[in-house]
Chain A
Amino acid sequence: MKKKLRWKVILVAAVMALALFLSYPPGKKINLGLDLSGGMHLVLQVVTDDAINIESDQEIMRLQEQMKKKNIAFGTATRGKLGEILIEKINHDQEGQIKDLLDEYFKEWNYTVIHEKVTLSMKASVIQYLRDQSVRQSLETIRNRVDELGLAEPTIQRQGLAGERIIVELPGVENPERVKNIIKTTALLEWKLVYAGPVSDQETLLTDYSGEVPSNMEVVRGDPQRTEGGYYLVDRVAAVSGNDLRNARRSVDEWNNPAVAFTLKPDSGKVFYKFTGENIGKPLAIVLDGKIQEVATIQSRISDSGIIHGRFTIEEADDIALVLRAGALPASIKYLEERTIGPSLGADSIRKGLSATIIALILVMIFMVLYYRFSGLNAITALILNILIMMGALSYFKATLTLPGIAGIILTIGMAVDANVLVFERIREELASGKNILNSVVAGFSRAFRTILDANVTTIIAAIFLFQFGTGPVKGFAITLIIGISASMFTAVFVSHLIFDIFMGKRKKRDKLSI
Chain B
Amino acid sequence: MEFFKKPHFKFMKFKYLAFSFSAVLILIGILNITLGKGLNYGIDFAGGTLIRLIFKEQISVSRIRQELSDKGLGASRIQEVGKTEREYIIRTLQEVEGAQLDELEAHEIMGKRVIEALQGEKEKSLLDQGKRDINSIDEEELTLILESSFPEEGQHVAQKILSYRTDKGIIQDYEQLERAAGISPEITSFLKEKTFLGDLAILSKETVGPQVGHDLRRKATQATIWALIGMLIYIGIRFRFAYGVSAILTLAHDVLVTLGIFSLTNREINLPVIAAILTIVGYSLNDTIVVFDRVRDNLKILRKQEFQDILDTSINQTLSRTVITSGTTFLTVFALFLFGGEVINDFAFTMMIGVIFGTYSSIYQSCPILYYWNKIFKPKKGLRK
Say yes or no: A415-B329 contact (C-beta < 8 A), given A338-B108, A347-B166: yes
Residue in A174, A404, A425, A478 whose beta carbon sits within 8 Å of that of B140 in the complex:
A174
* B226 on the A face (CB < 8 A): yes
Of all chain A residues, the one with the shortest Cβ separation from B318 is A425
Say yes or no: A342-B202 contact (C-beta < 8 A), given A454-B289, A469-B223: yes
Residues of B within 8 A of A464 (CB): 230
CA gap between A363 and B339 in the complex, in Å: 13
Of all chain B residues, the one with the shortest Cβ separation from A40 is B205
8 residue pairs of the A-B complex, CB under 8 angstroms, read A336-B211, A339-B208, A414-B328, A414-B330, A458-B289, A466-B227, A468-B223, A474-B275
Residues of B within 8 A of A469 (CB): 219-220, 222-223
Most-contacted residue by chain A among B140, B203, B224, B286 (CB, 10 A)? B286
Query: What is the minimal beta-carbon distance from A486 to any residue of chain B, in angstroms?
Result: 13
* A110 on the B face (CB < 8 A): no
- Inter-chain contact A363/B343, CB cutoff 8 Å: no
Residues of A within 8 A of B165 (CB): 344
CA gap between A363 and B105 in the complex, in Å: 47
* A113 on the B face (CB < 8 A): no
Residues of B within 8 A of A418 (CB): 286, 321, 325, 328-329
Residue in B104, B271, B332 whose beta carbon sits within 8 Å of that of A360 in the complex:
B332
- Inter-chain contact B336/A461, CB cutoff 8 Å: no
Say yes or no: A462-B281 contact (C-beta < 8 A), given A349-B341, A473-B271: yes
- Inter-chain contact A345/B204, CB cutoff 8 Å: yes
Query: What is the minimal beta-carbon distance from A38 to any residue of chain B, in angstroms?
Result: 8
- Inter-chain contact A407/B340, CB cutoff 8 Å: yes
Residues of B within 8 A of A458 (CB): 231, 234-235, 282, 285-286, 289
* A392 on the B face (CB < 8 A): no
Of all chain A residues, the one with the shortest Cβ separation from B52 is A345
* A43 on the B face (CB < 8 A): yes
> Which residues of B (110-153) have their CB < 8 Å from a CB of A?
138-140
Say yes or no: A414-B333 contact (C-beta < 8 A), given A174-B140, A344-B169: yes
Query: What is the minimal beta-carbon distance from B128 to any residue of chain A, in angstroms?
Result: 16
- Inter-chain contact B223/A461, CB cutoff 8 Å: no
Query: What is the minimal beta-carbon distance from A464 to any residue of chain B, in angstroms?
Result: 8
Residues of A within 8 A of B206 (CB): 338-340
* Interface residues of B, dominant DSSP: helix
Of all chain A residues, the one with the shortest Cβ separation from B105 is A335
Other 20 A-B pairs with CB < 8 A, given A363-B332, A459-B286, A466-B223: A35-B343, A175-B138, A336-B208, A339-B204, A342-B204, A348-B341, A349-B341, A353-B341, A356-B339, A370-B1, A404-B272, A406-B344, A410-B335, A410-B336, A418-B286, A418-B325, A428-B2, A457-B234, A458-B235, A459-B282
Most-contacted residue by chain A among B166, B293, B324 (CB, 10 A)? B324
- Inter-chain contact A352/B282, CB cutoff 8 Å: no
Query: What is the minimal beta-carbon distance from B228 to any residue of chain A, in angstroms?
Result: 9
* A90 on the B face (CB < 8 A): no
CA gap between A368 and B328 in the complex, in Å: 9
- Inter-chain contact A429/B335, CB cutoff 8 Å: no
Residues of B within 8 A of A428 (CB): 2
Say yes or no: A470-B227 contact (C-beta < 8 A), given A43-B212, A458-B286, A458-B289: no
- Inter-chain contact B336/A465, CB cutoff 8 Å: no
* A463 on the B face (CB < 8 A): yes
> Which residues of B (271-295) have their CB < 8 Å from a CB of A?
271-272, 274-275, 278-279, 281-283, 285-287, 289-290, 293
